[in-house]
Structure formats: C-alpha cells, structure tokens
C-alpha cells in the first residue's frame, strides 16, 4: 500500500511538473513571437518617389499632393498622375504604384513592396501578369477573370496585385482626373474549393467520432484522397506556415475574394479549440495524404525510436518557431515557408524545395509520413493551440465558482 501511495504521489508530481513546463513554454513562445512582431513592425517602408518616375514616362519631376503624385515635364506640363495602392496577397500586403495619363489610360505599374515568395514573382515575370494592366482605361473593371487573366496556383497573390492596382486607380480617378468611380461591388467568392473544404471539415469531425474502426478508416481515406486531389492537385491550396505568419502579422486578405483562406485557418482554430483535435493534418492535408498513399503502396512503417523520440519531437517545433520568428521580424511571411507543397502540386519551386520533395518521396517509401512527423511546421502550431486550450481549461476549473455546500 505504501509503495502504491509513493507511486501515485510520483505520478502527480510528474504531472504537475509537466504542466509547469508547458505553461513556461507557452509564455516563452508568446514573448519570442511578440518580440519578432515588434521588430518587424518598425521596419521602414519603401520610398515611392523614384517609382513614380518609372510609371509616368515622360515626367522629369514629381509633385505630391496628399496621396496623389503629379508627373510634370521640365516645362511644368502635367503628363499624368500616379498613386499607391495596397491590398493583401498570399504572404501579406502588396503595395503597387500606378501611373495614368490625362486621358485615363494606365501608363505603368510597379510593385514597390510585397511579402510574397520569390517563386511567385518568377511566375509574375514569366506570365506577364502586370503587363495586362498597361493601356487599360482607368474605368475598366481590372478584375481577374473579367478583363485580366489570373495566375494558376497563385490566386491569392494575383488578386492582391489586382486589388491594389484598383485601389490606386480609384485615388487617381478621384483626386487627379476628377472622375470619381462608383463604389466597387465586391462579390463573395464562394465556389467548389470552399464547398469541398466545408465538406471535409464536416466529414472529418463526425468521422473521428466513429467507433467502428473499419468504417472510420474508410471515411478517413475518402477525406484524405479528396484533400490530395481537390485541394492539392486541382487547386493547389494547402495550408502553409506562410499563411500562419500572415495571420500573426495581421495580414488578413479581403474576405470577399479569399473566403477559402478564412475557412481553412478559422476551421483549424475552431475545431482544435473546441474539440482538442487536429482536423487538417489527420484527415485531409494534401501533402500528408500523398505521403500516406506512398506508405500504403510500399508498406512503410512508423519510425520513432525511443532514444530519439524527444529530439524528433522538438525538431519540427524548432523549425516552426524559426520560420515564424524570421517571417515576423522581416515582415516577409512568404520567405519563411519551406514546405515543398507547390513543388509537388504545381511543379514549381526552388532547387531546395525540389531537393526536399525528392527526399520526402523516397523517405515515404520506407517511413510513414516522414515530412509530417519530422519537419512539418503545421503540427507544432496546432499543438500550441491545444496547449493554450488546456491552460485555459485548467484556469477555468480553478477559478469557476464552486457550488455552495448545504
């Protein structure tokens, strides 16, 4: 009996120590992230006067009147107007400057500040996306899939550029051309990706409560396959650490055009907070599903040897924290992402991303979900939400009013 009491006391002490370490970890994480956020907040903005000269060819001097830049010749004749517009893309704000001539034709567009990945701007250059706006009239819709072609696999970033151009043109129309445009009608973009995502969340939530193991496994394979095919190969819209950094930075895109973004991140936050489950990684992550498919074909097994377990657990946490701190401090969410998702689903990426993809594919033939278990930054993010949930639950139990004793 005495030994049982000592063992029970030891278990309680270990539980208390574990909770204390977890709370300390939460506090330190919040402090580090806050420090990185503050550093990034005070980074200087770009000087736009030089860019105004570029988008107003023929101007030899630039006058500024509030938000309007006025391009003039040496003889003081006005050649056109320029203004800066800003909208949120995939990694954060995209700032552009647009030049318009006196007849309302767009003379030039230059991206002066962005938070996107280098790979995206290679797409911008190769597709001539920005060139489509040149010579368009100021009163055109300037909307993707209306009079502007989008960029496959970079919908958020392309819409961010288009929205910032529309904003700049509106300033020029009102303050320069004195032809104010009517209020922009923003329709809610709700289509197949959003419907599929809601369906996957719903299916994952109810399926994980299924007690029949075989039926639960079948449901899970259906959601995994759907996530891989639809969210991965068709729409290239998986969750990345860049989106998490954008969320923490306060770079939230316009919800009318980016409802999918809010459903994806909001669904994870809601389900993890309410149900303490990770609905995304386990049930429909496209990249996780791809690895699991390879494992099913090759018979790959779990690999987490006991002597290395602690280190293998901390590796993705360190990588995730490094990416978040770097992205926040530089105010560049896009540069911190290292997942080879676009490389697999859209066949584009850096040499490092291609190398990481090849290694992941080969490792997936022998190890179960190697990227998810040892490298992926998303699972540590969800684990942190769960830890905060436990802390809040313990605090509520401790402080909630106790029923009066009779």
Q: 147 versus 117: which is more confidently predicted? A: 147
- Spell out the long-range contacts of 247-252 with Cβ–Cβ below 8 A and sequence spacing 24 or more: 248/33, 248/37, 248/324, 248/328, 249/37, 249/40, 249/92, 249/115, 249/327, 249/328, 249/331, 249/333, 251/88, 251/91, 251/92, 251/93, 251/115, 251/333, 252/88
For position 186, what pLDDT does the model report?
76
Place of tokens 């060819």: 57
Does the pTM exceed 0.85?
Answer: no
For position 279, what pLDDT does the model report?
82
86 strand-pairing partners = 95
Confidence of residue 47 (pLDDT cuts 50, 70, 90): low
For position 98, what pLDDT does the model report?
95
Confidence of residue 403 (pLDDT cuts 50, 70, 90): low
For position 4, what pLDDT does the model report?
54
Residue ranges of the alpha helices (H) in 92-236? 118-127, 155-175, 192-207, 213-226
Q: Dump pLDDT digits (tens) for 14-27.
A: 777 877 887 888 88
Q: Is 365 strand, coil or helix?
A: coil
**Residue closest to 124 by CA, chosen among 104, 109, 138:** 109
For position 7, what pLDDT does the model report?
52
DSSP-assigned letters across all residues of 192-216:
HHHHHHHHHHHHHHHHTT---HHHH
> Which of 216-220, 301-305, 331-335, 400-404 shows the lowest per-residue confidence on average (mean pLDDT)?
400-404
User: What's the CATH class of domain 49-175?
Assistant: alpha beta
**What residue segments make up the domains of the chain, in order of their start?**
49-175, 189-399
For position 107, what pLDDT does the model report?
94
Check whether 227 has a pLDDT greater than 70.
yes
Q: 7 versus 297: which is more confidently predicted? A: 297
Confidence of residue 358 (pLDDT cuts 50, 70, 90): very high
For position 8, what pLDDT does the model report?
59
């Amino acid at each position: 009996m005495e030994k049982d009491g000592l063992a029970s006391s030891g278990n309680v002490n270990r539980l208390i120590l574990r909770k204390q370490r977890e709370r300390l970890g939460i506090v330190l994480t919040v402090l580090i992230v806050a420090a990185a956020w503050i550093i990034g907040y005070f980074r200087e903005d770009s000087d736009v006067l030089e860019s105004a000269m570029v988008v107003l060819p023929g101007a030899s001097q630039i006058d500024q009147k509030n938000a309007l830049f006025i391009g003039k010749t040496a003889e003081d004749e006005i050649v056109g107007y320029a203004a800066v517009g800003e909208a949120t893309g995939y990694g954060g704000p995209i700032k552009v400057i647009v030049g318009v001539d006196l007849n309302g034709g767009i003379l030039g567009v230059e991206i002066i500040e962005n938070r996107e990945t280098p790979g995206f701007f290679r797409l911008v250059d190769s597709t001539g996306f920005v060139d489509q706006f040149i010579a368009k009239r100021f009163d055109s819709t300037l909307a993707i899939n209306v009079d502007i072609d989008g960029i496959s696999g970079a919908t958020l970033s392309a819409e961010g550029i288009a929205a910032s151009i529309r904003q700049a043109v509106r300033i020029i129309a009102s303050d320069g051309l004195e032809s104010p445009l009517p209020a922009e009608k923003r329709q809610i973009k709700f289509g197949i990706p959003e419907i599929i995502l809601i369906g996957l969340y719903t299916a994952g939530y109810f399926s994980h409560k299924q007690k029949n193991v075989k039926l639960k496994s079948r449901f899970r394979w259906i959601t995994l396959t759907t996530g891989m095919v639809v969210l991965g190969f068709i729409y290239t819209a998986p969750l990345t650490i860049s989106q998490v950094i954008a969320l923490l930075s306060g770079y939230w895109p316009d919800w009318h055009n980016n409802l999918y973004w809010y459903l994806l991140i909001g669904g994870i936050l809601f389900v993890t907070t309410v149900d303490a489950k990770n609905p995304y990684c386990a049930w429909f992550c496209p990249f996780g599903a791809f690895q699991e498919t390879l494992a099913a074909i090759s018979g790959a097994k779990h690999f987490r040897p006991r002597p290395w377990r602690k280190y293998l657990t901390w590796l993705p946490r360190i990588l995730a924290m490094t990416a978040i701190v770097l992205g926040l401090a530089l105010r560049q969410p896009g540069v911190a992402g290292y997942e080879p998702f676009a490389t697999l689903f859209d066949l584009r990426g850096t040499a490092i991303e291609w190398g990481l993809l090849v290694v992941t594919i080969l490792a997936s033939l022998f190890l179960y979900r190697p990227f998810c278990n040892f490298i992926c930054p998303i699972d540590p993010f969800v684990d942190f939400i769960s830890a905060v949930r436990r802390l809040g639950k313990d605090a509520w139990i401790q402080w909630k009013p106790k029923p009066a004793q009779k």
